[in-house]
Structure 1
């Protein structure tokens, strides 16, 4: 699985997601980079790549409907590590009714990001089942 985010400032967004995920980006070209994990790939592309898909098919920094989500070992520890880097925290670490402890914030382009840790047995079981395929 891969999710692609289009941005007008690729170096800034790549550096942000490298810090958030702890992953090193693989730059395929100066206009395209990927952060790969066993669960999937976050692709980041410069706005100059949009015409390859169709003019106007994507607009950077215009998303208000999707949430990019990452499972982390400990949301509170991750929040403490990133607290000075996050300019727009939407929800501080909070245990959600479905059993995940979640931290929601916006990346530098305004995309909503959720870092979460399953904390109840039911949430951990759902996560295990999802990873098993």
Structure 2
């Protein structure tokens, strides 16, 4: 089994697509006004409107901008460079400036426009580097 995708449900697909394109430098594939995907080497970040919930059983299946438990994580070559490049754009959304975590990743944490936590991280210890070696060149 492989995790291939995380989907964010939002009331404003266009706004989230624009945000994630800006922070990642990737271009989204916009299939409809209600659904888009940003594809990375290892997984896809899907963005769907609340209107897509009807396909899954109705409006109560998920609530937009209500996430308080998950963190969307992107591995990057240089988290400090990402911070320098994005700090002004993310003003007011930054949760944690680049910090080396006890498990060996240097982490920069912020919120997207819907309040979802996003983590850019770079492995910095030998153990963390080995762990994420398959993602080299992220």
Q: Secondary structure in 1 aligned to 2:48?
A: strand
> What residue number does 2:100 align with?
95
**Deviations, residues 27-72 of structure 1 (Å, cap 9, x unaligned):** 1111100000111000001111111111110100000010000001
Identify which of 21, 25, 28 aligns with 1:25.
Answer: 28
Distance 2:6 2:62 in 1: 13
> What residue number does 2:72 align with?
68
> What residue number does 1:118 align with?
123
Flag structure 1 segments of 5+ consecutive residues without an equivalent.
none
Identify which of 80, 83, 86 aligns with 1:79.
Answer: 83
Offset of residue 112 of structure 1: 0.5
TM-score, normalised relative to structure 1: 0.94
Offset of residue 20 of structure 1: 1.1
Distance 2:21 2:124 in 1: 25
